[in-house]
Amino acid sequence: MSTLTHLIFSLSFWDVLILFGTFFILYITRFYYLYFTRDNPFPGPLPLPLIGNVAQLIISGDFNKWALESQAKYGDVWEVYIGNERQLWLARADLVENILTASKDNKYFIRNLPNSGLDALGLSSNGIVFNRNRERWHFYRKMFAQTLTTIKFSRQATEWVQQAFANMEGYFMELGFDKKEFNFAEWMPRLTADMTFLIAMDKHACTMASLYNSYNPSKPAPYPQEVVNEADKFITALQKFTSTIKYFLLTPEVIRTKTPSGRSQSKEHMNNLNWLHESVTKIIQKKRKEIETIDDKSQLKSDFLTLMITVNTPKDMTQKRGDGTVEEPLTNEDIKASLIEMLSGGIDTTANLICFIVYLVIKHPEVKARLQQELDTVLGTDLSRLIKYEDLNKLVYTDAVIKETGRLMPVTSINLRVAEEDDVIGGYPIKSGQQIVICTLGIQHNSKHWSNPKEFNPDRFLEPNSHKIERYSLEIFGGGVRICPGRQLAMTELKTMIALIFRKYDPELATPDTVPKYTYESVNQCYELMLRFKPRKIE
């Protein structure tokens, strides 16, 4: 037996306790010594060793409230520790200027610190959202934007939103939602999933059909059960992909790869991801074959997938961005990454924002009256007239309602960036590698930029007031080089949905004090909004 082993075995229970106690006290002393002598200290809640401020966040129980309370307590710049990671939170427009500049020299291109989980999922160098490689990101981003800004695509998208909405109206009528209250928030992600599937690949997601069937099993929707089941399986896999990202992003590598529970969870996530990838590849291959059979490109549909497959081929229908950087047709792998991001980025965001819009409009009858007046003027009172993409630009007040809802109740409360070089922000020195949290909610509620910030007032976005809006004070879609590339499509979808709802209906809250219930996941996820969907009486 070695001397060390001998020594260890000779220790009594009390010796071990004292030893651990001493290490513990030394660890804590060192932790707080380093904390109180850190470079560039900012105000913020006192962190605990190992977990940082996570406990305070969990105890507060409401992410948005916690963010706004922190801003009220510490000012527009504060620091938060998530585990050992020090984050700098910014909640004033001038402080995010360097970060959200659209300049190519932007020092804040990267979203988050290096992460082995995202590397394992291949997301650090593929697709758009988490890509850390500028060249690869630029490639995906360019193709994505080129497709989404094609006029033919926007026109087709406007039609598909109406098709999906008409489907939903049919279900509402069958279920008697004009007379009885129902959870609107349960239907919206299904409506946006159905329309996003049509827009993305001219395919029915059937998620509304499957919800309708659960209400009315004796008279199911007119889709074969296997089509509904297959669509359900796909959408479940897609939703699980979002939790896969969260799991891989937040779980330390050692737990993911070395513990039995971590290994089994990782395996389950990877199996789901592989299934999703195989299914998307099959969808792409099938679409390629369909496109081959059509010689005249004017006969092709302009869904996202068709546009991606035909880009840089003789059948290309996209608006060219002639910087000469991508001239080859896209591979299945490239298209797969983009299609999955289109499907996962566009469903929940739009669904949650439309819930908040409908709630705020119902709560403000004067806003509803002006909105309906604009819809009647621009679109006419003949409800059978289809809404055209060109109509949407004329809906100026509707546009202001969307912006004001996005300001007051943003879908994404925060946005992430990392400083790639040393910098100075608002006079504060920032070290390279610093994780920055842009507190969108705090900026959009900051009384330095907005008078009566808690008040819902779409007039802020109309002339002459709109001239006074400060740069970077509105970030519904983020900003700078990484601004949301789906924003134009999102606005097209939202305006069309608002027109479809308020032209024909006068939705009512279930009770006067009904409020939308939501929690902050990766977006503000609305899970309950109880409404009745009454037809509108047009005089």
In the complex, minimum distance from the CB of residue 89 to ligand HEM, in angstroms, rounded to a whole number: 15
Tokens representing 229 are 């089941």
Beta-carbon contacts of 145 under 8 Å, excluding residues fewer than 6 positions away, are: 321, 485
Nearer to ligand HEM, 47 or 486 (CB): 486
**For residue 391, what are the β-bridge partners?**
none
- Residue placing its CB nearer to ligand HEM in the complex, 300 or 342: 342
Query: In terms of CB distance, is 160 or 477 closer to ligand HEM?
Result: 477
Q: What is the smallest separation between the CB atom of 346 and ligand HEM, expressed in angstroms?
A: 3
SS (H, E, C) 439-457: CHHHHHCCCCCCCCCCCCC
**484 carries a ligand binding annotation:** yes
Q: Which is nearer to ligand HEM, 115 or 350 (CB)?
A: 350
Which residue is associated with the tokens 């992460």? 115
Q: How far is the CB of 487 from ligand HEM (least distance, A)?
A: 6
Burial class (CB in 10 A: 0-12, 13-18, 19+), 501: buried
Q: How far is the CB of 77 from ligand HEM (least distance, A)?
A: 19
The distance of closest approach from Cβ of residue 180 to ligand HEM in the complex, given in angstroms and rounded to an integer, is: 29
DSSP annotation of 22: H
CB of 64 closer than 8 Å to CB of 34: no
**Which tokens belong to 129?**
């959202």
Cα three-residue angle 332-334-338, rounded to 5 degrees: 110
Q: How far apart are CA 130 and CA 428, in angstroms?
A: 27
Whole-angstrom distance, CA of residue 228 vs CA of residue 369: 39
Distance CA(383)–CA(469), nearest Å, equals 36
To 5 degrees, how large is the angle CA 506–CA 509–CA 511? Answer: 140
Tell the smallest beta-carbon distance from residue 445 to ligand HEM (Å): 16
Distance, in Å, from the CA atom of 417 to the CA atom of 109, rounded to the nearest integer, reads 7
Q: Which is nearer to ligand HEM, 161 or 367 (CB)?
A: 161
| Residue 104 near residue 479, CB atoms below 8 Å | no
For ligand HEM, which is the closer residue by CB, 161 or 371? 161
Which residues of the chain form contacts with ligand HEM (CB under 6 A)?
128-129, 141, 341-342, 345-346, 349-350, 353, 411-412, 415, 476-480, 482-486, 489-490
Q: How far apart are the first and last CA of the chain?
A: 97
**Closer CB to ligand HEM, 81 or 137, in the complex:** 137
Minimal distance, residue 235 CB to ligand HEM, in Å = 16
Q: Which residues are annotated as a binding site for heme?
A: 484
Q: Which residues are annotated as a binding site?
A: 484
